[in-house]
């Protein structure tokens, strides 16, 4: 086989090695614009796992790499003048130049034809390409091949906001360094690690405001270095910062719709990039080489081989890019975490890409997690009130009590609101008693009722629960009394009006489908139906607004009469109050539409009226959709503004959900997918938050809490599957202080 490869970086060189190893008769030509030993950057990191992978594929290069690399186990987080160390991470650093030397020598020894100082421009006119069976574009992040065939590859280039510069230093770090230094210009952060006997990588990153304020937008590389040496003097101990073709740039995340075009294929950075903060670019490039070489060996037809290569690698790369996205988002927004205590800050940083969490860190460095858990407990004032626990270790974060106003929850797990569509004219009955009662006995700190409507015409379906008739108070009180009498859980009522999403069938008879008969008229912020099949709602006038507000107030009073501990106003998921907030369904021309300030006006008015009558010693939460997942919709930035306004009007905690406001939304699901919104609101708007959305494990709950992303974790579907989710979570963690219902005492796990 004849192979022409543009680019002699890690991808191209390693691919050449593997192809010549597999079939010495194959012809591999690599065209590289640089001279040997000439490259940008300093060191790169490999995880222990990547090194094992390389060992399996080419022992010779692995041996050479491991002979020269620097290995470390710990990560240091320098923050507020102190340093927090966490161990057990297992990474190696190697000089990029040395890595390329090793790969070049090995490739040449195997007979790869490397033509240095060859800039490929008009590659289709070159003989090497015309004669090649396979053309590999391993020409890096600015790939010319990709640009030339952009119509086929359909690249998506996402230029990130932060500025970074890749420097080196002779200061030898004995652990991976994350350094955060604040000065009068802003915040400057470093990703640093040693990669050989006498050099460390020192990548400095900062937000564009800090960069401009410091004058770095006008500074030469030398002037930038002089400035950064002053900022990081404490960490450099007199060592200099060194450039290597270094300049301030923005990271670009590269994605392509497809990686192949005829006999041409993209590989490495040309195909995809992942932010340097997860140190995976070189690893991904070399893994591509391995996958392509294996696919070519397995499939006699080139087409099949290229398809197999892309089918294997593309999904893996997208997962890594998702982790990288979470990671760069953390660094881009790191200013919002500057109020954290050092251990919370470190936990937030270490768990940023969801690849490492509470349990995994416990395995890596039990002492670190013990310190972080103790620190979390020490700041939990309620626990302190409960007296000195002596030498006993603190409970896992999820089992720390949580107080708001006069209420203390025994732990931080919440059963989410879930419509059951099993009521009759709003009346809850035995079903709801058993459903909510069993979840309360399951150990959660707070059980939320389903969306409970403030009027008959405010229901989603004929089966929705209500709080609008006197009998409703009695029916709810029976459930509240059961919960109080037979569990330690608190119980909260979620009150709502369905707005334009009302008058539909029970979910299992046709979700969002209008009723066959007996439909009632709908109201909303604007006369826009939810789906093309939905009824067109009437735009609310001031009279409607007053009436609905009064319904909310009445429901709040009734909640108090029924003995609820907690009240939640539902402003999420496209229901009535949410329909005012979202610009997708509020196109009003009056004082309640238009700007965000105007769109918030009516929901805030309702909130104020409810807070006015709701008991002063009981918490009030508001559920919001923090994004519409729509490019013209309500955004995470809007959610910050809204949350501040909610807090000013007496909201104690924001229940952060997302979406369900438009059928044209493009939500991005994943583990804990809504938690970044709760994190932003908690740490940017400084409002306590509860987070929901694909949280399924105790490890996730503990990680979210200890990293300061939210104050409470809400689980919906896991509680449908298992009402005793919290009791099981305690058992799984060996935590025996959680109260079990007395009649179940016999099976309660005992301390070992």
Ligand X SMILES: Cc1cc2nc3c(=O)[nH]c(=O)nc-3n(C[C@H](O)[C@H](O)[C@H](O)COP(=O)(O)O)c2cc1C
Ligand Y SMILES: Cc1cc2nc3c(=O)[nH]c(=O)nc-3n(C[C@H](O)[C@H](O)[C@H](O)COP(=O)(O)OP(=O)(O)OC[C@H]3O[C@@H](n4cnc5c(N)ncnc54)[C@H](O)[C@@H]3O)c2cc1C
Catalytic annotation, residues: 575
| Closest to ligand Y by CB, 144 or 647 | 144
Residue 487 as a binder of ligand Y (CB under 6 A): the answer is no
Angle at 633 between CA 631 and CA 638, to 5 degrees: 115
Among 231, 409, 692, 712, binds ligand X (CB under 6 A): 692
Grouping H, G, I as helix, E, B as strand and the rest as coil, residue 569 is strand
Q: Tokens for 255, please give them.
A: 């994605």
User: If contact means CB under 5 to 8 A according to the sort of partner, which of ligand Y, ligand X, none does residue 64 touch?
Assistant: none
Among 372, 419, 622, 727, binds ligand X (CB under 6 A): 419
With beta carbons less than 8 A apart as the criterion, state whether 390 and 363 touch: no
Q: Using the Cα atoms of residue 168, residue 174, residue 179 and residue 184 in order, give the sign of their dihedral.
A: negative
d(CA 375, CA 381): 12
d(CA 133, CA 214): 52
| First-to-final CA distance of the chain | 64
Among 4, 29, 114, 285, binds ligand Y (CB under 6 A): 285
Angle at 174 between CA 170 and CA 177, to 5 degrees: 85
Contacts with ligand X, 558-597, as mask; x by CB under 6 A: ------------x-x-------------------------
Query: From the CA atom positions of the chain, what is the Rg in Å?
Result: 30
User: If contact means CB under 5 to 8 A according to the sort of partner, which of ligand Y, ligand X, none does residue 281 touch?
Assistant: ligand Y
| Closest to ligand X by CB, 349 or 713 | 713
HSE of 186, CA atoms in CB hemisphere, 13 A: 23
Residue 266 as a binder of ligand Y (CB under 6 A): the answer is no
Q: Tokens for 444, please give them.
A: 């959660």
Contacts with ligand X, 424-463, as mask; x by CB under 6 A: --------------------------xx------------
Query: What beta strand segments (E) does 489-529 contain?
Result: 490-496, 523-524
| Closest to ligand X by CB, 254 or 626 | 626
Query: What beta strand segments (E) does 35-185 contain?
Result: 43-47, 70-72, 75-79, 82-86, 91-95, 113-115, 134-137, 155-159, 163-169, 176-183
Q: Residue 545's closest CA among 463, 477, 587, 603?
A: 603
With beta carbons less than 8 A apart as the criterion, state whether 266 and 198 touch: no
Contacts with ligand X, 704-733, as mask; x by CB under 6 A: -----------xxxx---------------
d(CA 598, CA 663): 24
User: If contact means CB under 5 to 8 A according to the sort of partner, which of ligand X, ligand Y, none does residue 443 touch?
Assistant: none
Task: Choose the binding region for ligand X from 252-260, 293-301, 522-530, 689-697 (rule: CB under 6 A).
Answer: 689-697
Nearest approach, Cβ of residue 506 and ligand X (Å)? 11
For residue 174, report the phi and psi dihedrals to the nearest 5 degrees.
-95, 5
Contacts with ligand X, 601-640, as mask; x by CB under 6 A: ----------------------x-----------------
Residue 287 as a binder of ligand Y (CB under 6 A): the answer is no
| Closest to ligand Y by CB, 119 or 737 | 119
Nearest approach, Cβ of residue 426 and ligand X (Å)? 14
With beta carbons less than 8 A apart as the criterion, state whether 569 and 620 touch: yes
Nearest approach, Cβ of residue 29 and ligand Y (Å)? 12
User: If contact means CB under 5 to 8 A according to the sort of partner, which of ligand Y, ligand X, none does residue 156 touch?
Assistant: none
Q: Give me the residues that bind ligand Y (CB under 6 A), please.
A: 6-12, 31-34, 41, 44-45, 118-120, 138-140, 144, 166, 203, 268-269, 276, 279-283, 285
Q: Give me the residues that bind ligand X (CB under 6 A), please.
A: 416-419, 450-451, 494, 570, 572, 623, 657, 692-695, 715-718
């Amino acid at each position: 086989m004849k192979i022409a490869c543009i680019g002699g970086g890690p991808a191209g060189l390693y691919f050449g090695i593997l192809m010549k190893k597999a079939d010495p008769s194959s012809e591999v030509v690599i065209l590289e614009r640089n001279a040997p030993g000439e490259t940008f950057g300093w060191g790169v990191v490999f995880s222990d796992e990547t090194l094992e992978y390389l060992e399996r594929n080419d022992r010779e290069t692995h041996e050479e790499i491991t002979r020269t690399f620097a290995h470390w186990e710990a990560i240091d987080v320098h923050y507020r003048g102190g340093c927090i160390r966490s161990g057990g991470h297992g990474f190696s650093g190697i000089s990029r130049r040395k890595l390329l030397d090793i790969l070049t020598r090995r490739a040449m020894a195997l007979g790869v034809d490397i033509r240095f100082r060859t800039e490929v421009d008009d590659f289709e006119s070159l003989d090497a390409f015309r004669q090649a069976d396979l053309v590999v574009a391993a020409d890096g992040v600015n790939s010319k091949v990709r640009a030339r065939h952009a119509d086929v590859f359909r690249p998506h280039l996402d230029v990130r906001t932060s500025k970074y510069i890749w420097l080196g230093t002779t200061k030898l770090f004995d652990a991976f360094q994350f350094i955060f230094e604040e000065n009068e210009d802003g915040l400057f952060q470093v990703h640093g690690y040693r990669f050989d006997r006498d050099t460390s990588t020192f990548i400095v990153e900062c937000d564009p405001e800090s960069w401009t304020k410091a004058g770095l937008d006008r500074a030469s590389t030398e002037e930038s270095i002089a400035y950064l040496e002053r900022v990081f003097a404490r960490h450099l101990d007199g060592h200099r910062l060194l450039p290597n073709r270094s300049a301030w740039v923005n990271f670009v995340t590269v994605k392509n719709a497809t990686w192949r075009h005829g006999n041409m294929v993209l590989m490495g950075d040309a195909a995809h990039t992942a932010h340097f903060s997860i140190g995976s670019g070189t690893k991904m490039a070399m893994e591509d080489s391995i996958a392509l070489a294996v696919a070519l060996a397995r499939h006699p037809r080139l087409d099949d081989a290229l398809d197999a290569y892309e089918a294997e690698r593309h999904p893996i790369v997208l997962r890594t890019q998702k982790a990288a996205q979470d990671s760069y988002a953390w660094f881009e927004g790191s200013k919002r975490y500057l109020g954290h205590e050092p251990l919370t800050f470190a936990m937030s940083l270490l768990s940023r890409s969801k690849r490492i969490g509470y349990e995994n860190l416990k395995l890596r460095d039990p002492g670190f997690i013990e310190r972080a858990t103790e620190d979390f407990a020490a700041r939990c004032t309620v626990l302190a009130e409960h007296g000195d626990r002596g030498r006993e270790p603190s409970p896992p974060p999820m089992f720390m009590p949580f107080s708001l106003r006069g209420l203390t929850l025994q732990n931080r797990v919440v059963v989410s609101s879930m419509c059951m569509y099993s009521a009759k004219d709003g009346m809850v009955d035995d079903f709801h008693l058993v459903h909510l009662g069993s979840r309360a006995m399951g150990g959660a700190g707070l059980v939320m009722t389903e969306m409970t409507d403030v009027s008959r015409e405010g229901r989603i379906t004929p089966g929705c629960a209500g709080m609008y008739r006197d009998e409703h108070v009695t029916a709810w009180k029976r459930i509240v009394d059961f919960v109080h009498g037979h569990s330690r859980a608190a119980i909260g009522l979620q009150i709502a009006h369905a707005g334009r999403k009302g008058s539909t069938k029970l979910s299992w008879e046709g979700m969002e489908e209008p009723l066959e008969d007996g439909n009632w008229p709908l109201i909303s912020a604007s006369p826009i139906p939810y789906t093309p099949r939905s009824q067109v709602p009437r735009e609310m006038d001031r009279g409607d607004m007053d009436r609905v507000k009064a319904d909310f107030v009445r429901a709040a009073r009734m909640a108090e009469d029924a003995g609820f501990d907690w009240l939640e106003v539902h402003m999420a998921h496209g229901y009535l109050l949410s329909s005012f907030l979202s610009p997708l369904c509020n196109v009003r021309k009056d004082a309640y539409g238009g700007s965000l300030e105007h769109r918030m006006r009516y929901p805030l008015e309702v909130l104020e009226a409810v807070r006015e009558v709701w008991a002063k010693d009981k918490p009030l939460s508001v559920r919001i959709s923090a994004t519409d997942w729509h490019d013209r919709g309500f955004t995470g930035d809007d959610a910050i503004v809204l949350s501040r306004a909610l807090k000013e009007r007496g909201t104690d905690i924001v229940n952060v959900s997302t979406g369900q406001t438009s059928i044209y939304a493009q939500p991005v699901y994943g583990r804990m997918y809504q938690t970044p919104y709760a994190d932003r609101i908690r740490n940017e708007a400084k409002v306590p938050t509860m987070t929901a959305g694909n949280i399924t494990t105790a490890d996730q709950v503990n990680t979210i809490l200890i990293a300061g992303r939210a104050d409470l974790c809400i689980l919906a579907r896991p509680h449908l599957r298992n009402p005793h989710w919290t009791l099981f979570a305690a058992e799984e963690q060996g935590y025996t202080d959680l109260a079990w219902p007395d009649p179940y005492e016999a099976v309660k796990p005992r301390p070992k």
